[in-house]
Amino acid sequence: MAKKAKTVFVCQECGYESSKWMGQCICGAWNSMVEEKVLDVSDDKRRRTSGGKGTGVGSETGRGGKPSRLNSVSSMEEKRIDTGIGELNRVLGGGLVPGSLSLISGEPGIGKSTIIIQAAASIASKGEPVLYVTGEESEEQIRMRADRVCGELSDQLYILAETNIENISAVCQNLEPKFLIIDSIQTMYSEDLESAPGSVSQVRACGSELMRIGKSMNIPVFIVAHVTKSGELAGPRIVEHMVDCVLSFTGDRGHELRILRAQKNRYGTTSEIGAFEMAQEGLVEIENLSGVLMDEMDQSSEGAVATATYEGTRPLVLEVQALTSKCNVGFARRTAIGIDNARLNMILAVLEKKMGLNLMDQDVYVNIVGGFRPEGTYTDLAVALAVCSSYYGKKLDTRTIVLGEIGLTGDLRAVQNAEKIVKEAARLGFERVILPVRNAEKTGEKVKGIQIIGLRNIQAASKLF
């Protein structure tokens, strides 16, 4: 097995290996090279043990095996495993795919272990063995959390406090779990390597061993991973390429709201989001997220505008806030949270040119409430009107939803799925929707019970104030 130890320098940011130390890695990171000892293990041990029961997705039939007819390979679609958590199933694309490897990342304390133990308990309660491997907490700590969030525990839920990946692999061979959880990848290590747990080579080795376990036993594997302060995955950038799904769990520290989204998903869309509330009894699904967000909207102040985007398969109603205030010295500041700074600058330029706002000496702050970062250009018009509202010191009616893309000419461009957004707005009790005229024409006759105002360009919005 192990032959000769060699050392390499591995960039802890990108995983680049070099035989010599470098001050700056090819990825641009400074001082990121760490010396790691690597035992030269021939990889035929790995090859012999892989393959096995796996069918279809990911089974390693390619190596020296016969090619199969694609239409005779069984499809995984109907075999998805229900996690018992609707919002998690949705983000995964309809449940867990057997043999798939998923990574869940998020800041400390956000609720990664909580959501995973809830899913584990639910799958175990159907009589299938589930193995939860913890490298961070003791068995007692996991038990305490499980008692709090899972209700009665099934005797098919197994817990293992272990960090040695070879031992974990052996336990899996014996137990044959139907679902494997590793909490967290940064605490796991392989005997084959001498570097510390959490280093790039360890994370990579453990990741590929877990992939082998998942594929050969044809079970889904969930890996918990930490993120650095800047929100990047610590170390496992490499694992990100290896896994089938990367889920990120985000939320406001001060708030109970938690949002789960897929950054990568080989078995579903990445635009789907799942919403939860962190409570005493664990993560509670929020089905009516728009309603919850709108309940909190401040009805009385200038600069707040309700808007909507389309996330995955459903509309999401959000609040945009803007504040303009006279700056005393130097350049005016533009600060955007939740939207692109360049996008904000463009919108402000259009407002100055087309609506005659004088923003030269005004600091402008824009915030999408709740820590959301809506994709696409749905929120352009709402941002513009929120800025106008603050600038003029006039409120915009909060029973109104505003959406639409703004072009450089000040023209409003149609957005997709407007009809579904209008329906959602009507359902939530909004009275008016302001949107590009092209969208208004199409939705006008179809949705009843809500006033629809179509605008051709941004100038036409001035009559709202």
Q: Which does 109 bind (CB under 5 to 8 A by kind): Mg ion, ligand ATP, Zn ion, none?
A: ligand ATP
Q: Which is nearer to ligand ATP, 282 or 454 (CB)?
A: 282
Q: Segment near Mg ion (CB under 5 A), from 107-115, 290-298, 350-358, 378-386?
A: 107-115
Instruction: Please count the residues of this chain forming the interface with ligand ATP, following the rule CB under 6 A.
Output: 12
Q: Which does 106 bind (CB under 5 to 8 A by kind): Mg ion, Zn ion, ligand ATP, none?
A: ligand ATP
16 binds Zn ion (CB under 5 A): yes
105 binds Mg ion (CB under 5 A): no
Cβ contact 430:402 at 8 Å: no
8 binds Zn ion (CB under 5 A): no
14 binds Zn ion (CB under 5 A): yes
108 binds ligand ATP (CB under 6 A): yes
- Contacts to Mg ion from residues 298-317, by CB under 5 A: none
Distance CA 176, CA 213 (A): 10
Q: How far is the CB of 235 from Zn ion (least distance, A)?
A: 12
Q: Which is nearer to Mg ion, 113 or 398 (CB)?
A: 113
- Contacts to ligand ATP from residues 127-156, by CB under 6 A: 136
Q: Which does 123 bind (CB under 5 to 8 A by kind): Zn ion, Mg ion, ligand ATP, none?
A: none
Q: How far is the CB of 230 from ligand ATP (least distance, A)?
A: 16
Q: Which of 6, 21, 24, 27 binds Zn ion (CB under 5 A)?
A: 27
Q: Which is nearer to ligand ATP, 112 or 215 (CB)?
A: 112
113 binds Mg ion (CB under 5 A): yes
13 binds Zn ion (CB under 5 A): yes
Site string for Mg ion, 161-200 (x = CB under 5 A): ----------------------------------------
- Angle (deg, nearest 10), helices 139-149 and 112-124: 70
- Contacts to ligand ATP from residues 269-298, by CB under 6 A: 278-280
Applying CB under 5 A, which residues contact Zn ion? 11, 13-14, 16, 25, 27, 29
Applying CB under 6 A, which residues contact ligand ATP? 106, 108-114, 136, 278-280
Applying CB under 5 A, which residues contact Mg ion? 113
